[in-house]
Amino acid sequence: HFNYANPDAPKGGSITYCVVGSFDNLNPFILKSLRTTARGMLDLTYGNLVFEPLMQRNYDEAFSLYGLLADSADMDPERKSIEFHLNPNAKWSDGQPVTPEDVLFTYDVFTDKGRPPYSVRMSMIAKLEKTGEHSVKFTFNDKANRETPLIIALTPIIPRHAFDRDTFDKTTLKPLIGSGPYTVDKVQP
Average confidence (pLDDT) over 42-66: 80
171: three-class secondary structure by DSSP: coil
Contact 31, 116 (CB under 8 A): yes
**93 vs 3: which has the higher pLDDT:** 93
Backbone angles phi, psi at 132, to 5 degrees: -175, 180
168: three-class secondary structure by DSSP: coil
- Categorize the per-residue pLDDT at 122 as very low, low, confident or very high, splitting at 50, 70 and 90: confident
pLDDT tens digit sequence for 62-99: 888 999 999 999 999 999 999 999 999 999 999 999 99
Percent of the chain with pLDDT over 70: 87
Q: What is the DSSP letter of 176?
A: P
pLDDT over 70 at 24, yes or no: yes
Topology (CATH level 3) of domain 55-166:
Dipeptide-binding Protein; domain 1 (3.90.76)
pLDDT tens digit sequence for 150-185: 999 999 999 999 999 999 999 888 888 999 888 888
Range with the poorest average pLDDT among 35-44, 143-152, 154-163: 35-44
pLDDT over 60 at 34, yes or no: no
Contact 171, 27 (CB under 8 A): yes
The DSSP bridge partners found for residue 47 are 43
117: three-class secondary structure by DSSP: helix
The structure's pTM equals 0.88
d(CA 181, CA 57): 16
Contact 108, 122 (CB under 8 A): no
Contact 97, 90 (CB under 8 A): yes
Q: What integer pLDDT is reported at residue 158 of this predicted model?
A: 96
- Spans of all domains in the chain: 55-166
